[in-house]
Structures are given as C-alpha cells and as structure tokens.
Amino acid sequence: MAGFVAGLLDATVRASTVLVFASLGEIISERGGVLNLGVEGMMLVGALGGFVVTVVSGSYWLGFFVAGLLGVAMALIHAFLTISLSSDQVISGIMLTLLGTGLTTFFGQEWVSESISGFPRTTLPLVGEYLVGIPVVGEALFRSTAPDFIALALIPVVWFFLFRTNLGLEIISVGEDPETADTMGVDVFRMRYLCVLIGGFFAGIAGAHLSLAFSQLWVPGMTAGRGWIAVALVIFAQWRPERALIGAYLFGLLDALKLRSQAISVQVGAETPFAGTINPALDFVMHPTIMATYPYLATILVLFVTVVRFDSEQLGVPSALLEAYSRETD
C-alpha cells in the first residue's frame, strides 16, 4: 500500500507541474486585465516546438527555452489584437487555441514516431540526497525533473513579484483601474503587453514540460484540455499563486488516479448486502475511461461552487479584466 501511495504522489507532482506553469502565467496576464483563453493553443505550440528543437539539437534545455519563446510569439498576436486593436479578448483567445491546435496537428504529424531522452529525474540540489529517503513522500518531493522543481520555486517568486515589487503592484493597478494607473504615470499598454507575453512564455514551457519531461514524446492534442483547466484554476485560486499550487495538486491527483486506475481494484465482499449492485457500480466509476472525465468534472464543480459562494469582490476578480483601455475614451 505504501508503494502505491508513493507512486501516486510521485505521479501527482509530475502531472501538476504543467498546471502550475500555465496557471501562474494566466494569473499574471489576468492581473494586468487581459483574459487569455489561448493558453491551450500556446501550450500545444510550445509542446511541439520544444520537442522538435530537442530532437534536432539534442538539448532539452534549448527545447524548453524555445518553447517559451514560441508561447511568447503566440501571446504577441493576442496582445496586439486585444490591447492595440481593442478586440474582444474571449474571441481572440479562442481563435489562438484553434490556431495552435490546427498548426500543431498539421506540422506535428511527422514527429509522432520520434522519441527523445528528455529531462532526467534528479534529486533536489543540496538537500535532496538527504531527504529522498523519507518514506512515501521522499521520492515524490525530492527526486523529480528540473521543470518540476522550477515550477515549485516559481510559486513564491511570482507571489513576491506581484505583491512585493513596484512592477508587480503597477501590474495589479493596471488590472484594477487602468485610468487611475495611467494618471499616476504607469504605461498601461506596455504593462498589459508585458503581462500577456509573460503569460505566453509560461504557457509555452508548460507545453514543453508535457513533451520533454512528462511523456517525452509528441502526440497531437496532447494537452488534452489542461489549458482550460489552468484558466479555471485561476478562478479557484482567486488570482493568487499560492492557491494555484493547491488547485494544481488537486487536479494533478485526479490525473494521477486516472493513469493508475487499472491498478486499483475496489470491491465489497459477496456477503455484503446489495453486493450485486455495489460492485458493478464501483467497476463503472473506477473504469479508466470514466476516470478520465474526473478532472473535467471537477473543473466544472469547482467553478460552480466558487462562483456561487463568492461575489466578484470576494473572489478578487481584477476590476478591469476584459475591459479594453483607450486614452481617447477613458
């Protein structure tokens, strides 16, 4: 049992990293007042681009970095449309998701059969070799891939950046009241561009983690809706990085359970009342195909509970989110 739990925790950490990267980028973008629904498409472009660069160059670090730049390139389109041209943020984001899906499906076909040696598992620098022996949690927390450690380290970094630096507070002010921020000398357009591009970089490396560390292969559509889950996580986290980590691990646990569902057998004894009804029901809910829907069902449930329980002020929704800014009109 301990071995199963240890393996489940290890899989949870690895499955959560992509959500941590993507949700952190989305938090920064939305804190600046720009909703990015193109995360899924950016992740796919990053996953394919990082994989191709790694195959050609043999360097997974180069692939990881290029994936981030490809995410920035996609985000630049979104920023130009929504900030410079004041286009609808929802439509622009959905368009980018469709664009990323189409491009990677078309150009990624010839790379499906390729395989790579991506990020290797390693112990956490300095202290990992001493802590990895901790029962059950040691392997999961202190022996993993470099992107897993980077994602965890980014949680306090992004929190400090947003809430303890002048630049971060300017970003928040732009997302709350761009007119007042502009009056105080903050360049609203430049700040919003910065937020969207940072979000794009994070989405790109989130996709790269899938192809270079999590699965170490390329499959069209391999993000499987994780970009949409990351957008939902931002609401669950109330636009705060530390809460996004909790949400990412909860969804990562559901993903890990899905991957290990075939090793789980839950049955009641034949002498138990209604065993003939209970066991088929358990077989149904534990079936791998059914369990594959749990992360998405959980997303719907979390959004419903969060939105019903809190109003916009309690949620912490940036006041100027989805609102285009123009000096001529505002």
Q: Residue 220: its pLDDT value, please?
A: 92
Q: What's the burial of 272, exposed, middle or buried (CB within 10 Å: 0-12/13-18/19+)?
A: exposed
Q: In whole angstroms, what is the distance from residue 11 CA to residue 7 CA?
A: 6
Q: Alpha helices of the chain — where are they, by DSSP H?
A: 2-31, 39-57, 60-79, 89-107, 128-131, 138-142, 146-164, 166-176, 178-183, 188-209, 226-236, 241-259, 275-285, 288-291, 294-309, 312-315
Q: How far from each other are the two terminal CA atoms of the chain, in whole angstroms?
A: 62
Q: In whole angstroms, what is the distance from residue 22 CA to residue 226 CA?
A: 9
- Alpha-carbon distances of 213 from 110, 251, 265, rounded to whole Å: 20, 18, 29
Whether 68 contacts 45, CB under 8 Å = no
Q: How is residue 84 written in tokens?
A: 């410079």
Residue by residue, pLDDT tens for the chain (330 residues) are 566 777 788 888 888 999 999 999 999 999 999 999 999 999 999 999 999 999 999 999 999 999 999 999 999 999 999 999 989 999 999 999 999 999 999 999 989 978 888 899 888 887 777 787 787 778 778 888 999 999 999 999 999 999 999 999 999 999 999 999 998 889 999 999 999 999 999 999 999 999 999 989 999 999 988 999 999 899 888 899 999 999 899 888 888 877 666 656 666 566 666 666 776 777 777 777 777 787 778 778 877 777 676 665 666 788 888 888 877 654
